[in-house]
Structure 1
Amino acid sequence: MTDRPADGEVADSEVAGGSVPDVTRQVTRGAARLLEDLGCAVVTEFALANGRRADVAALAGDGQIALVEVKSGVPDFRSDAKWPEYLEFCDAFYFAVAPEFPRDLLPDGDVCGVIVADAWEAAILRPAPLRRLSAARRRAVTVRLARVAAQRLRALTDPRL
């Protein structure tokens, strides 16, 4: 017998708009498009120096770094305790969720911002508080972003990579 979701919750396998991987892909794409529309360079599935992986990393023209953690549903959010480990690698941290996600479950506005997204567009419902990175950390994350982006671009033209 499988666990059933509590009243008002949607099971991972029953997430509105598709399966969990589909919802994750859609919300990720929408959040990335939003950040690109705001002038950021975006890398998805970005590994941090502490071994964690941000779903979306964005580098703004002024050098600010935003990280986005995508949540496919309530069970995904409740089972994830690692997100505070992202805060030391960004100036702004967001959760990106589908429109039907119960946003009252997300941490307070003094910790993170909130992006609501589908596959085509997104909106920032709550701006993230800014926490300035030190110059050394900013340089390290920026270099890492540049290297990951360059390696991924190069891999498109050379199957050896």
Structure 2
Amino acid sequence: MNSDPPIPPEDKRQSAHAAMVMRGVQRLMRAHRLESLVEMPLNNGRRADVIGLGGDGRFHIVEVKSSIADFRTDKKWHEYRDYCDHFSFATHADVPLEIFPEECGLIVADKFGAEILRPPSEHVLNAARRKAMLIAFGQQAASRLHLLYDPTRDPLG
């Protein structure tokens, strides 16, 4: 029996820069004792680039911006705040940091890790939204794990 863990398929939705930043952000979250998912669907129809969950039940959403154009064309980032306790932007070293709003956290990342340049402010989720998010996070994580071990499973069963 092969004891190697399954390897998730490469996600082709992001640019190489965005994927690199996501990896660094996930490593930073792990260092801060947060478990994370990428591209998690939210109930408002958006997808969180990276969402982290702490042992205290608090959610951290990080919106990845891989270029100036990526940031300037994105008008939806305000819609993520209703789904987290902390919101930050993350980018890489080639993007000028002054384009990002002061009221949001700011992270610079590469594929090896990340650094928090500006911590996010806190806006506490209400109890009903937190419960819904905890259930959604757990279901999404379990579904992804199952797909790693059984990629041909019946989607209805």
Q: TM-score, normalised by structure 1?
A: 0.85
Distance 2:34 2:135 in 1: 15
The list of structure 1 runs, each at least 4 consecutive aligned residues, that deviate by more than 2 angstroms after superposition, is none
Distance 2:18 2:58 in 1: 25
SS of residue in 2 equivalent to 1:156: helix
Corresponding position of 2:121: 129
Corresponding position of 1:52: 46
How much is the aligned-residue C-alpha RMSD, in angstroms?
A: 1.0
Corresponding position of 1:23: 17
Unaligned runs of at least 5 residues, structure 2: 1-13
1:139 aligns with 2:131: yes
Unaligned runs of at least 5 residues, structure 1: 1-19
Distance 2:42 2:101 in 1: 22
SS of residue in 2 equivalent to 1:31: helix
Q: 2:97 aligns with which of 94, 103, 108?
A: 103
SS of residue in 1 equivalent to 2:149: coil
SS of residue in 2 equivalent to 1:57: strand
Report how many aligned residue pairs link the two structures. 140
> % of aligned pairs identical?
44
1:92 aligns with 2:78: no
1:120 aligns with 2:112: yes
Q: CA deviation at 1:37?
A: 1.0
Distance 1:100 1:21 in 2: 14
1:153 aligns with 2:135: no
Q: 2:55 aligns with which of 46, 50, 61?
A: 61
2:21 maps to a residue whose letter is: V
Q: CA deviation at 1:142?
A: 1.0
Corresponding position of 1:35: 29
Q: TM-score, normalised by structure 2?
A: 0.87
